[in-house]
Structure 1
Amino acid sequence: MLKYLGKDQFEGLEEAIAIAKSVGWGAADILRSYYRGESDRGELNIQEKKEGPVTAADIVTNQYILDQLEARFGTQDFGYLTEETYKFESKGVMSPPLSQEWIWIIDPLDGTRDFIEQTGEYAVQIALVHQNRPIAAVVVWPEAEKLYYALKGSGTFVETRQGNPTPVKVSQRQNIADLSLVVSRTHRDERFNYLLQNLPCKNQQYVGSVGCKIATIVEQKADIYISLSGKSAPKDWDIAAPELILTEAGGKFTYLDGSPLNYNRGDVNQWGCLIASNGQCHEQLCNQTKQILSQLDS
């Protein structure tokens, strides 16, 4: 179905994204039924794990996405890296990279704690990765009834249940002091708080899921998202789909040194400092963040 033509050109990518969009909406329906206590699949069954809570909604939605994608793409040329199957198969031990040419990276429920606490800020995230980089992505924000999707080199679009895709672009705000940060209500240690206190951009808003954070940026309601790992780090499935959604909307999403993110490397942890922005002063933001962190670590 898919063929790499060279120079970031792909055959069959439009069909792949159409399937991913359909699966994304189906996954959103499952999550919303649990969210409203209307699921016929049983109780939510919340379990606290080392990496955070897991619910029946995570597991059921994960299986739905896997079943749908595997039925269409098979397992010979396509690998599947998902939050729930990785936890089950690896048992905490680093796994080797998947060997297939095409890798689906899936987070069936990004923002599980926000799902449990009913903030509405949770998302379904599905990315297709080729040679360690995302080439197609879907992020669904179920409670906003919006689906964001992107293809490498083709821009980012948002659509509702009725379809009608509309292109989205990040803001053109350029003064770093005027930029707005989107941050989590939790996952904030002293080091991260120190960084926030010393950055020149003081406007902050709180949003849960990474997918919802990036949606907030491409909707021009915010401009910056920063991840600073501590005892844990975001995983491939937290970042892969949101990254392409942002970059195809004109933004930038890099490590602190400006290098690109890579996926399916064996270690699913995205350690270090990751910076996502509207791209207008990305290098300046990275440099100021470096200086602040070096002061803290010296």
Structure 2
Amino acid sequence: MIDKLRDRLDVLFQTLQELGDYQLERQSEAVAQVKTDDSMEDAWAANEVFSEVDIHTERQLLAFCREEYGDYPVISEEFNAQSQPPANAEYTIVIDPLDGTKPYLEGSDGFGISFGVMQRGRFLFGVNFYPALKSLYYAFADTEGVFDQNHQQIPTPTQWASECYLSLGFYDLLREEYRSPEQIQAALGLQVGNYPRSAIYIFKRILQGATFAYMSRGAFLWDIGPSSLLLEKVGCPLLDLRGERVNFQELTTPPFRHPAVVAVPGGERASFLTKLQSILASA
């Protein structure tokens, strides 16, 4: 499968471009819908909303995968979130059709499409496409570096800005005395960034060296899986709170969700995790 994907990479990229154009065309008209039984107000606050644009994009990607790659199992956010691939599946495709639905509905540019191929828990390919930002990044596990839409390798950051991102849920893991941005900044020595709340946008900033650390509670496989390969290529693997690499095979069954993940550059990883574990202690 990987050989075919590599040979026809531009076909995938063209499909992502067309779907990205569709998302941009519909952005001003898209309407939020609720995933749960909660009120719209509660669902919006919890980031549990979707739109018809999410649904259309995912349908098109699923049809593309069937036509291009055959009957390989797919884990995707909207349609496949209650299913799971066969236990003996060698390859699994992972899709997030619109990561950052809430920023998208707010008119922000902090959204994108994520697509990856996993072999028994190890990502062999990942691509993130940012329609509003006109940028794309991809990587193969067997190739050094991260590449852009022109197949040019992007520079690996040699240093990162002193900023970090915490998901809203991550604050709930912290001891009470550390639950404000000011307290986190003082404890970690990092500025808490005010970004669009989408993983794919933060990962772009990490690839560019503009954000130092990503911390998230309850991240789904489709939120972090394809991007994990890109982050690994620039020295920022996704880790659990013990500092061990995320086991994506464990996320291939419902609810497809990891308790808490962190991405931070290698040179300062140990000291950062020590500080973070201290903040989390007895929370």
TM-score range, shorter chain: 0.7 to 0.9
C-alpha distance in structure 2 between counterparts of 1:13 and 1:110, whole Å: 22
- Percent same amino acid at aligned positions? 21
**Aligned with residue 148 of structure 2, among 145, 158, 167:** 158
282 and 16 in structure 1: CA distance in 2 versus 1, 3 angstrom threshold = farther
Question: How far does residue 218 in structure 1 lie from its aligned partner after superposition?
Answer: 0.7
Confirm whether residue 34 of structure 1 aligns to residue 26 of structure 2. yes
Number of corresponding residues: 263
Question: How far does residue 121 in structure 1 lie from its aligned partner after superposition?
Answer: 0.6
Confirm whether residue 180 of structure 1 aligns to residue 163 of structure 2. yes
201 and 158 in structure 1: CA distance in 2 versus 1, 3 angstrom threshold = farther
Q: How does 1:49-60 map to 2 (within 5 A)?
A: 49-50=35-36, 52-60=48-56
C-alpha distance in structure 1 between counterparts of 2:225 and 2:66, whole Å: 19
C-alpha distance in structure 1 between counterparts of 2:77 and 2:52, whole Å: 13
Confirm whether residue 20 of structure 1 aligns to residue 12 of structure 2. yes
SS of equivalent to 1:260:
coil
**Aligned with residue 271 of structure 2, among 275, 278, 284:** 284
Tell me what 1:47 maps to: 33
Q: How does 1:219-230 map to 2 (within 5 A)?
A: 219-227=208-216, 229=217
Letter in 2 for 1:124: I
Question: How far does residue 29 in structure 1 lie from its aligned partner after superposition?
Answer: 1.5
Length-normalised TM-score, structure 2:
0.83
Question: How far does residue 183 in structure 1 lie from its aligned partner after superposition?
Answer: 4.0
Tell me what 2:238 maps to: 253
122 and 294 in structure 1: CA distance in 2 versus 1, 3 angstrom threshold = same
Tell me the C-alpha RMSD between the 2 structures: 2.4
Question: How far does residue 140 in structure 1 lie from its aligned partner after superposition?
Answer: 0.8
Tell me what 2:191 maps to: 203
C-alpha contact 1:151 1:248 (8 A) present in aligned 2: no
Letter in 2 for 1:82: S
Alpha-carbon deviations, 1:63-83, whole Å to 9, x = none? 1111111101110xx111100
Tell me what 1:122 maps to: 111
Confirm whether residue 67 of structure 1 aligns to residue 67 of structure 2. no
Tell me what 1:41 maps to: none
Alpha-carbon deviations, 1:17-56, whole Å to 9, x = none? 444333322221221111144xxxxxx3421123611100
Question: How far does residue 255 in structure 1 lie from its aligned partner after superposition?
Answer: 1.0
Confirm whether residue 144 of structure 1 aligns to residue 138 of structure 2. no
**Aligned with residue 235 of structure 1, among 196, 220, 226:** 220
C-alpha contact 1:170 1:250 (8 A) present in aligned 2: no
Letter in 1 for 2:78: E
Question: How far does residue 143 in structure 1 lie from its aligned partner after superposition?
Answer: 1.1
C-alpha contact 1:170 1:251 (8 A) present in aligned 2: no
Alpha-carbon deviations, 1:80-104, whole Å to 9, x = none? 11001124x55xxxx5656421111
C-alpha distance in structure 2 between counterparts of 1:218 and 1:172, whole Å: 11
Alpha-carbon deviations, 1:177-236, whole Å to 9, x = none? x7311345x556444582652432331222221111010011111111111x2xxx1110
Structure 2 residue runs without a partner (length 5+): 37-46
**Aligned with residue 79 of structure 1, among 48, 73, 76:** 73
Length-normalised TM-score, structure 1:
0.79
